[in-house]
Copies of this chain bind each other. A is one copy, B any other.
Amino acid sequence: MAGRNEETLGDLTLLGNQHTKYLDHYSPDVLEPIDNLHSGRDYFVKFNCPEFTSLCPKTGQPDFATIYISYIPDKKIVESKSLKLYLFSFRNHGDFHEDCVNTIMDDLIKLLDPRYIEVWGKFTPRGGLSIDPYCNYGKPGTKYEQMAEHRLMNHDMYPEKVDNR
């Protein structure tokens, strides 16, 4: 099988472009999809994003997290540089941890209409506690809806050891 060519690379505006602009406010429009070349098959794509940072909506102090995004694409996959810029756009955005992961998932559902998706944020501690919200989604009326319920029911039964160091 040949690799991606001009056609399957599509109209990417960001990858390999040196005039990248880093946005100073929450910007879901920066996200760009590309064609999924394997839509005849269910498979997972996971993004590990250890460089996420946002602000506390009440105190303005910075929050830090690793975000894990995992999905089964349908017709589209997300271009990774656009995802990077999108996550960057939370840098000066104020929101609770629980809200951030729900917002990220909602934006990716809107962009990709995926079969299945989940987003897990693991934040650094504030006041001795850390918060790790997790949400997921399966396309309503399909088997992926049951998949989402199944994965939620079995979520995180082995919490990682956390000692704040």
Cβ of A117 to closest chain B Cβ, rounded Å: 12
Known: A46-B156, A155-B44. A83 touches B135 (CB 8 A): no
Cβ contact of A9, chosen from B45, B58, B70, B120, cutoff 8 A: B58
Query: Within the oligomer, what is the number of copies of this chain?
Result: 10
A3 contacts B by Cβ under 8 Å: yes
A147 contacts B by Cβ under 8 Å: yes
> Is there an interface contact between B3 and A129, defined as CB atoms closer than 8 Å?
no
Task: For the complex, count residues of A whose C-beta is within 8 A of B.
Answer: 95
Q: Which residues of A contact B (CB under 8 A)?
A: 1, 3-5, 9, 12, 15-22, 26, 36-38, 41-51, 53, 55, 57-62, 64, 66, 68, 70, 72, 77, 80-81, 83-84, 87-88, 91, 93-96, 98-99, 101-103, 106-107, 120, 122, 124-137, 147, 149-165
> Is there an interface contact between B60 and A98, defined as CB atoms closer than 8 Å?
no
Task: Specify which chain B residues have a CB less than 8 angstroms from the CB of A17 in the assembled complex.
Answer: 18
Task: Specify which chain B residues have a CB less than 8 angstroms from the CB of A149 in the assembled complex.
Answer: 42
A sample of 17 cross-chain residue pairs with beta-carbon separation below 8 angstroms, ordered by A number, consists of A4-B95, A9-B57, A22-B60, A38-B99, A42-B152, A46-B132, A46-B156, A47-B131, A48-B129, A48-B162, A50-B64, A50-B124, A61-B88, A62-B128, A126-B128, A150-B154, A155-B157
